[in-house]
Chains A and B, each alone.
Chain A
Amino acid sequence: MANTFCVTITHCKTDPDKATLGFVVANAAQGSEKETMVFLSSDGVYCAVPEEAAKIDEGAPFAPLKDLMDKFLKAGGKIYVCTPCMKKRGIAETDLIKGATPAGGAALVEWLANGSPAVAY
């Protein structure tokens, strides 16, 4: 059984439900002692911008996106943010939530190539 896990999320403003679900599953993975990385790309990079994440709340039974992200980071999860996707949208590293790391395709490929299962939202 693999000890790592990856959740890729490509939505935030475009589909808040998918962004929320992605972090719910990421919490399940990290909470199951899988070293878990969330890779935010395309519109999903907005999840790492605090002002944008604060707008996402799908309501019960889901927690607000910011709460899900805070819990994920507190549990030791990693958040990587696609740098070209940030640049396209005018998002700077200083705009990101504390704990999020700008990264590119190589970081994602390395994580997966080392045997990590992944799920996409």
Chain B
Amino acid sequence: MATNRPAWDFDDEFDGGEETCGRVIVNLYLYIRCQQPGYRILVISRDPGAPMELPAWCRMTQNELTAMQHPYYLITLKPHLVRR
């Protein structure tokens, strides 16, 4: 089920394409692993499991699921590591 693209502010975009399950996760992990804490990534995943998978991934990795509206997910990278 696709919805209109939300009007969220973000720094970068990751489109998981038609991949599912672990492929989305590992591709996202490789994409963001050199990016700075606090970056906001718009993740697009059409995987019907994404509403379960991406919140779980955020909880495990301490990335913040700032907003979600499947297939769009706004993720803030490691907000606890941002220097204030």
Contacts and interface: CB of A to CB of B under 8 A. Distances in A.
Interface in A19-35: 23-34
Given A1-B60, A74-B30, A75-B30, A28 B20 contact: no
B21 interface: yes
Contact of A32 (B23, B30, B61): B61
Given A1-B60, A33-B61, A74-B30, A25 B22 contact: yes
The secondary-structure label for the interface of chain B is helix
How big is the B interface, by class?
A: 10 to 19
Interface of B: 18-23, 25-30, 53, 56-57, 60-61
A31 B25 contact: yes
The secondary-structure label for the interface of chain A is helix
Interface string A12-50: 000000000001111111111110000000000000000
Contact of B21 (A1, A24, A74, A75): A24
Interface of A: 1, 23-34, 61, 63, 68, 71-72, 74-75
Contact of A72 (B18, B26, B61): B26
A33 B29 contact: yes
Contacts of B57: 31-32
Contact of A31 (B18, B20, B28): B28
A61 B45 CA distance: 14
B54 to A, nearest CB: 11
B30 A61 contact: no
Q: Which of A24, A28, A72 has the most CB of B within 10 A?
A: A28
